[in-house]
Amino acid sequence: MSEKAGTVTSDASRAATMIINNKQIQMPVRSGSIGPDVIDVARLYRDTGCFTYDPGFTSTANCSSKITFIDGEEGVLLYRGYPIEQLADQSNFIEVCYLLLNGELPNKAQLKDFDNTITRHTMVHEQMTRFFTGFRRDAHPMAVMCGVVGALSAFYHDSTDINDPTHRMIASHRLIAKMPTIAAMAYKYSIGQPFIYPRNDLDMASNFLQMCFAVPCEPYVVNPTVAKALDKIMILHADHEQNASTSTVRLAGSSGANPFACIAAGIASLWGPSHGGANEAALKMLEEVGSVDHVADFVKRVKDKSEGVRLMGFGHRVYKNYDPRAKVMQETCHEVLDLLGIKNEPMLKVAMELERIALQDDYFVEKKLYPNVDFYSGIVLKAIGFPVSMFTPLFAVSRTVGWISQWKEMIEDPEQKIGRPRQLYIGPAQRDMTPIEKR
């Protein structure tokens, strides 16, 4: 690692050398503050006429970032340098939002001010309520969220100038504040209940619970321990560096698109079962397995690749060790079930048995497949009362701060360019068109 973190090393002995088409070129090596060095290939095409080829970006850093660090081998996750375990234990979601967005933990006055700002942005334009009625009642809440969040840019024109730092900050606050309201409205619409307005006396997690579960005909009392657990879940999901949805937000934003449109793109990407949709898929899988007696058979099916069955909530592109979020989630799961007096939850038993078998099975050990954040989250969310279809929307609610922080960082990065990957073309070479009567 270089002495001066985050700069291109001037030490030529550390430059990467490549020989291609009998031409030798040198590429600078850059070091971050921690983590692997990167080889700067930006001039490769100009110097050699070649591209790099890396489907799925398994070896490609697309940007430099100061927000989140993951050491997948060791199972470490840091937000702005702070370990996820410390934040989950000692902080709260609103403070984590401030940290991710602004770079440092707030003092008391800054936190109060930020909390007040977010709280006062939680309502959505009243006209937006009519948007919801355009969807079928049985629409998945993620489908509704993709549409409604995209539509925010049609309502808040006064914060879509990406070149104005004040607009950028207001749009960020609006997105963090309104996303829980929109997700709760999508839920209420799907079950045919009236929308519940946000309440300014509640913290974010409590407010989300009341917007989802209150009804106008009787008072709703938030269970503080459930709210605390939900707050922790939101912290765990708040950011995860350059994952698929975050990269989507950055790529969409690199063209200069407004932040509401970019976050809608992120929501679409998150929905997939390999990403944010895995919590829903994991719970469905646990339900399908049904009982501890069927676990061994299910593991057999997973290992037999011809069946195309994956152990959902297991494995990760970056973590080749226990996902640190999964550890906190497992503890939270036990806490919530105890608190709610749920004993002998069959799905928890199935999950624990699956984990026990998988962690000692050669297939999973050799491939370094460990539980990820989604393995236990569905059990907690179900115990709290959320239907399966709300799991991924809740992920989106929590991840919005990460997306918008990464988007803001990208816009403010002087090295930022429109994202434009290249390709290895394998289609037909140039050929002449045959007139239709001769085909």
Given 167, 203, 316, 323, which residue is catalytic? 316
Query: Quick one: which of 63, 85, 73 has its CA closest to 35?
Result: 73
Residue 362: CB minimum distance to ligand CMC, A: 12
> Which of residues 74 and 304 has its CB atom nearest to ligand CMC in the complex?
304
Residue of 79, 189, 314, 407 interacting with ligand CMC (CB under 6 A): 314
Task: Please identify, among the stretches 85-93, 212-220, 308-316, 327-335, the one whose residues bind ligand CMC according to the rule CB under 6 A.
Answer: 308-316
User: Can you say whether the dihedral through the CA atoms of 358, 362, 364, 370 is positive or negative?
Assistant: positive
Contacts of ligand CMC in 373-432 (CB under 6 A):
373-374
Q: Which of residues 239-298 bind ligand CMC (CB under 6 A)?
A: 240, 243, 274-276, 278
Catalytic residue check, 121: no
Site for ligand CMC in 340-379 (CB under 6 A): 367, 369, 372-374
User: Which residue's Cβ lies closest to ligand CMC?
Assistant: 315
Give the shortest CB-314-to-ligand CMC separation in angstroms: 4
With binding defined as CB under 6 A, does residue 310 bind ligand CMC? yes
- 237 a catalytic residue: no
State the nearest-atom distance from the C-beta of 237 to ligand CMC, in Å: 9
23 or 367: whose CB is closer to ligand CMC?
367
For residue 230, the minimal CB distance to ligand CMC (Å) is 18
Q: Interhelix angle for 324-339 vs 374-384, to 10°? A: 20
Q: Rounded to the nearest whole angstrom, what is the least distance from the CB of residue 277 to ligand CMC in the complex?
A: 8
For position 311 contacting ligand CMC by CB under 6 A, the verdict is yes
The tokens describing 213, both together, are 């579960």
Which residues belong to the active site? 316, 374
Give the binding site for ligand CMC (CB under 6 A).
240, 243, 274-276, 278, 302, 310-317, 367, 369, 372-374
